[in-house]
Amino acid sequence: MVFNSYTFVAFFAIMLLVYNLPISWKAKKVSLLLGSYVFYAAWNPPFILLLWLSTVVDFFVGRALYTQQNPVKKKVLLVVSLIGNLGMLCFFKYGTFLLENFVALVNTFGVDFHPAEPSIILPAGISFYTFTTLCYTIDMYKKESQPVKSLLDFSLFVTFFPHLVAGPIVRPPQLVPQFEHPKSATRKQMLDGLLLLSLGLFMKVVLADALLADTADTVFNTPEALATLDAWAGVLAFSGQIFFDFAGYSTCAVGVALCLGFVLPQNFNYPYAAIGFSDFWKRWHITLSAWLRDYLYIPLGGNRKGKFRMYMALMATMLLGGLWHGANWTFVAWGGLHGLYLWAEKFIGDKRNLTAEEKDRQNRQWTGFLYAFLTFMLVNITWVFFRSESFGTAWRILESMFGLVDGGKMVLTTMALVKVAVVIPALFIFQWFMRNRKVIEVAYNMKWWSLGLTWSFLVLMLIWAQESGGAFIYFQF
């Protein structure tokens, strides 16, 4: 079930109705949990078993980790959780990838090994709920938070349908306390939630799918070298598409949760207005960036054990972050390129040695805007690897972008070029002017009739473009 479907509209209406019935708080939580299972089962019902297994194992292992005093037994319990979660993730998400690379390796050494191709279906959202439960058991091991008191609350924390399939990646202290006491949406929360849901669907259905998706698909699916203009248009289109698609989902998730009275963490904060790559990763997929920082970068040494260790930890984090996105070496290249950008930025920053006040003053001037534009253009180069199914496709696109081929093919219509020429500059400029603002605050500063007209426009455009809506991109991760 996806947010941009009539099925979800009916499902959400039923969930709101049941949740607001005069029943006990426990009954409301049970209804939310059962509804979340229905929401997930709409993709492939048997995979509910994986979700149950991950939930039950980590609930009891987490409780045991918190109370266990024997260091050896604690490590054994942590290993059980890591093997269970990462083993499940590796099998379903990376099983085929690992087998293909093993076959290629042994064939290189002359071993004629050709096993039957496995037929592994990737469960929806497995990367997200695996990281959600992992952070719980790791926190229990470190005793950084209290264990969840009931299996019902923990199950709802893992399975809560707004964030289940594509995030935000929620940590126990951010959501579990909200399940401990009766909660219902205020009038303001309901209006805010419906506005965010409308905005998120507009970003996904209208901007990502109706205006940009076809252009990106045409360029990346063309096997020949392309004209430079077409190559750039396709890459810029995908840059906009991936943002509107993923940020649209996160906006919907926050809005849906708010309609029920729950607050989810922000996942995007105008990333294309980032001044530099450290700033970019504080604004793009914020919950994943924070997860990788706290559970990978810092344990690897972070910036506490010298410059060399810091650079190695940073690159390892970005490479693994790239691999998290998909079982393909192009994703690793995408992460590695971001790692190189961060290396260069830190090296230059150390040489310049500006104070925080000097950086802030610089960012408020036109130099800040130019740095943001440079960051945006360099990020676009990384998207080539993220979107390409192979390095051959990525090199072909890059060569076409920088005019390294003769007689590149023109595949885009004038209208497709116009869409990109209008949407992408508007996106960048809008994010620059909104980089320190919040949508809800801006909405409440508008005149009532202006907000009403804007909201009506979003809904009308959704009705117009509804047939263009497809699955969210991050469902495959």
The dihedral over CA atoms of 457, 446, 266, 337, expressed in degrees to the nearest 10, equals: 70
Report pLDDT digits (tens) over 22-39: 999 999 999 999 999 999
> Which pLDDT score is estimated for 82?
87
CA quadruple 155, 156, 157, 162: dihedral positive or negative? positive
For the chain, which residues score pLDDT lower than 50? Answer: none
Is residue 284 within 8 Å of residue 272, measured between CB atoms? no
Residues 6+ apart with CB under 8 A from 9: none
Neighbours of 152 (CB within 10 A): 15
> Which pLDDT score is estimated for 276?
92
> Which pLDDT score is estimated for 281?
95
Verify whether residue 325 is a known catalytic residue.
yes
Report pLDDT digits (tens) over 8-22: 889 999 999 999 999
Q: Give the end-to-end CA distance of the chain in Å, rounded to a whole number.
A: 16
> Which pLDDT score is estimated for 97?
79
Between CA 475 and CA 167 the distance in angstroms is 10
> Which pLDDT score is estimated for 45?
83
Residues 6+ apart with CB under 8 A from 152: 26, 29, 30, 33
> Which pLDDT score is estimated for 382?
97
Report if pTM > 0.85: yes
Candidates 114, 163, 181, 325; catalytic one: 325
Between CA 352 and CA 371 the distance in angstroms is 15
The distance from CA 24 to its chain's CA centroid, rounded to whole angstroms, is: 34
Please give the radius of gyration of the chain, using alpha carbons only, rounded to the nearest integer: 23
Between CA 118 and CA 222 the distance in angstroms is 28
Smallest CA-to-CA distance from 285 within 378, 158, 172, 167 is with 167
